[in-house]
Amino acid sequence: VWVTGMRVANATLERLKEEGRNEEAEKYEKSLNEALIRDVVVRVSWTGDADIDLMVEEPSGTICSARNPRTMAGGIMLGDNFAADKTTGEKEFSEVYVCPKAFGGDYKLLIRRVWGEVTAGKVTVDVYFNWNTKSAMHMQKRIELAENGAEGTFELANGRRKEMLTEQQVANAAAGQLEIRRQVLAQQLAAVVEELA
């Protein structure tokens, strides 16, 4: 969905430029760049035969997790992802928390093992601040995952969120995300059926 959206956005921008609609192209490009800004991104990654869960307590006291993937403070838990390392072929798994417009303050992370063992007993935590801006910052830390998990904190000094989302806004966003997931799943199933035919 992300890749398709970026292709459509870039094609639209190019079309505006080709048609000589430079003022519209400038405004459109500025809007695109602003839409891609993320106040906070947290990525927990690991290798090994294991499943890890990430929970984030936001400054407002709301908790974003697999059970509560969207919060009224704007946080979104993207869930489990995996990618293969091109040099070793080893699979790297990750969980990602994103807050496009976040409250400033202290964030608390709880990382816990659901099952299995991670390689060397450690996970990597990457925290990105003000992503896609000139003042972007990145912090990375390897954390040992004890039997009861691991905790960490970080502070976002200049969050852009000033008020909580309404319950209806969160419900609408969750419904939209569910519909996108259904469409992606339907496409994947259709591809599998086509391969088998």
- What pLDDT digit, counting tens, does each position of 70-110 carry? 999 999 998 776 655 555 556 889 999 999 999 999 999 99
Q: Going along the chain, which residue ranges are E strands?
A: 38-47, 50-57, 63-64, 76-84, 91-99, 105-116, 122-131, 137-144, 150-156
- Does residue 86 or residue 166 have the better pLDDT? 166
Q: For residue 152, report the phi and psi dihedrals to the nearest 5 degrees.
A: -160, 165
Q: Determine what percent of the chain is predicted with pLDDT higher than 90.
A: 58
Compare 195 and 165 and report the one with higher pLDDT.
165
**pLDDT digit string, tens, across residues 36-48:** 899 999 999 999 9
**Burial classification of residue 69, based on how many CB atoms lie within 10 Å of its CB (0-12 exposed, 13-18 middle, 19 or more buried):** middle
